Structure 1
Amino acid sequence: MPQVSLIIPAYNGERFITKALDSILHQTYSDYEIIVVNDGSTDQTAAVLQPYRERIRYIEQANRGVAAARNRGMALAQGELIAFLDQDDVLLPDKLAVQVECFAQQPEIGISTSRRSANFAANGPVWLQSLCSGVLHHRCPTATAS
C-alpha cells in the first residue's frame, strides 16, 4: 500500500490537469498513488488523461461537485496520508517529501499545508507570494458504535 494517496477532483480540466499530474510524477518522494475523479467533465479531460492511465487510478462519475469527487477519491484511497490537489495546481518537487517527513518527526500533528502558488509563463512556472494550497493530512480511523 502507498504511504500517500493524492486525490485530484477534475471537472473540465483539460487545460491544466496534465501540469498537475506531471508535478506529482516528478516528486522526489515516490511512495504514493494518484486518484483522479472526473466529475462529469464535458471537455476533453478524459482524452488528455489517456497517456497517464497506467500511472493513475481514473474514475468517472456524473457531475456531483468537487466535494463529492473528493469524497469518492477518499473512499478509494489506500494511503495512510491523504493529499488533495486541485486540477490547476502544481507541486514543488519536494512537497511530499517535506510533508511526509514532517508527519514522521511530529506524529501528533493531523494536518499540514503548503503556502506557495505559481502562474505559468511561456518559459515555466513563476512562483508567487504565499497562498494556501496542498493539504496533506492523516486518515482518521473509522469510528465504531459500541
Structure 2
Amino acid sequence: MRSADRTWPVLAPEPEVQPEPLRIAPSMSVVVAAYQAERTLAAALDSALAQTLPPLEVVVCDDGSTDDTAAVLERYAGRVLVVRQDNGGEAAAKNAAVEAASGDFVVVLDADDVFEAERLEALTWLAVRRPDLDVLTTDAVVEADGREVRRAYHPGWTFPVEDQRAEILSRNFVLGLAAVRRERWLEVGGFDRSLSRATDWDFWLRLVLGGSRVGLVDAPLARYQLATGTLSSDRIGVVRARVVVLERADARDDLAPHERAVVGAALRRERLDLTVRSAVASLSGSPAAARRAHLRLAVHPGLSPGGRVRAVVGVVAPARLAARRRRRGDGRVEIGSGLWVQPLD
C-alpha cells in the first residue's frame, strides 16, 4: 500500500457536524524541551528528522543545560531551530519552543523519547480528516531501562471518546507526545510555569474544558521512556500537584453538575492517596512524625475499615508497620483492603 493511500485506526468523539476534509494539510512543527539531554537528544532529533512526512521544522529549547547538550545541537545546525534560555523548567521550555514555532500544529517530543517514522504522517492524516479536533495523539510503546513494558493505552488506561470533559476531570488520558493546534496552545496560555509537576494534566484539562476535543491514532507510533527510580518524596510531590490541579478545576464556574461530582470524587481519591503516601513515608522518619501522619490517615473519611485499623497501628506502634514494610521488600505497602501504595509512572 502506498503511504498516501494508508488509513489509520482512529478513536475520537463523534463530530457534531460532519466536517469536510481539508484541501491543504496543516503544517506540523516538532517542539523539544531539552535539559541535560546529551545522552538522548540525538536519537529524539533523528526520529523527528526521519519522518516519512517531514515536519515543517524542528524547534529545540535548550533550557539552560550545563552538560554537552549544546554540542549535540551543533551537529544539527541548519536542520534544527534552537532557542536558548536560562533554566526555567520544562513548562517554560516547551512554551518557548512553541512560541518560536510557525506550524499550524506543534507536536511535542520529549528529549528522551522517539517517534516512529510514520508518526507525523498519521497525525497529519487525522488532522486533514478531522479539522474539528484540536489535540491529536497516538498510542506508544512504553519502555523502562531499554525494556518494553506495555502499550501506553491498555485496559487500565483507555482512551475515551465519550464525555471527554468529565474524563479529563477524573484522569489525564492524553499521551503527552501530542500534536496541538498552535493557536489553541497560545490561547490557553500554554503550560503553567508555576507547576513543577502535573503540568501536562493541567494543560490538557484547560484545553478540553475550554472546548477542545482530542483524537487518537490507535497505533503505537512512538517510544515513550518511563522514568524509573523516583524517590518517595518525588511521588508525594506528584500527588500533591495533582491535588492542586483538581482544586483549580473544582474552582471553575463552568462545570456541569455531573462534572462537579467527577472532580469531587477525583479530589477525594487524590487527597486520600496523598495522606496514605505521607503516612508511609513517615515510617522512615521519627516515631512522632509517623504517629502524626497516621493519625491524619486514621480520621480520613475515605479510608476503608481495614485501612483504619492499620492506620491506628501506625499511631500506637509505627515501628511495627515499618518492620512489616521491610519484610515485604517489594516497595509496596497495603494500608487497607485493595489500597496499595505503588510507584507512580
Taking structure 1 as the reference length, the TM-score comes to 0.86
User: Does structure 1 residue 138 correspond to structure 2 residue 159?
Assistant: no
- Figure out how many residues of one structure are paired with residues of the other and give that number: 139
User: Does structure 1 residue 14 correspond to structure 2 residue 35?
Assistant: no
1:25 corresponding residue in structure 2: 49
With a CA cutoff of 8 Å and minimum separation of 6, indicate the structure with the bigger relative contact order.
1
The residue correspondences of 1:52-67 to structure 2 (distance < 5 A) are 52-67=76-91
Equivalent residues of 2:143, 2:150 under 8 A apart: no
Taking the aligned partners of 2:124 and 2:147, their CA distance within structure 1 comes to: 25
Equivalent residues of 1:7, 1:73 under 8 A apart: yes
Equivalent residues of 1:114, 1:133 under 8 A apart: no
User: Does structure 1 residue 39 correspond to structure 2 residue 82?
Assistant: no
Task: Supply the AA of the counterpart residue of 2:151.
Answer: S
**Greater share of residues in strand:** 1
Taking the aligned partners of 2:68 and 2:55, their CA distance within structure 1 comes to: 29
SS in 1 for 2:83: strand
Task: Supply the AA of the counterpart residue of 2:98.
Answer: M
Taking the aligned partners of 2:95 and 2:75, their CA distance within structure 1 comes to: 25
TM-fit CA distance, 1:14: 0.1
Taking the aligned partners of 1:120 and 1:28, their CA distance within structure 2 comes to: 27
Equivalent residues of 1:90, 1:118 under 8 A apart: no
2:254 corresponding residue in structure 1: none
TM-fit CA distance, 1:137: 1.6
TM-fit CA distance, 1:117: 2.7
Equivalent residues of 1:115, 1:133 under 8 A apart: no
Cα deviation 1:71-130 (Å, max 9, x = unaligned): 111111100011011000000100000011101011111111122135499xxx765522
Q: 2:150 aligns with which of 118, 129, 139?
A: 129
The RMSD of aligned alpha carbons is: 2.1
SS in 1 for 2:131: coil
Taking the aligned partners of 1:32 and 1:128, their CA distance within structure 2 comes to: 32
Task: Supply the AA of the counterpart residue of 1:37.
Answer: C
User: Does structure 1 residue 51 correspond to structure 2 residue 75?
Assistant: yes
Unaligned ranges ≥5, structure 1: none
**Greater share of residues in helix:** 2
SS in 2 for 1:134: coil
Question: What's the % identity of the aligned pairs?
Answer: 32
Which 4+ runs in 1 deviate beyond 4 A? 118-121, 125-128
Taking the aligned partners of 1:136 and 1:39, their CA distance within structure 2 comes to: 21
Deviates most, 133-142 or 97-106? 133-142
Q: 1:3 aligns with which of 10, 27, 49?
A: 27
Taking structure 2 as the reference length, the TM-score comes to 0.38
SS in 2 for 1:5: strand
1:101 corresponding residue in structure 2: 125
Unaligned ranges ≥5, structure 2: 1-25, 153-174, 188-345
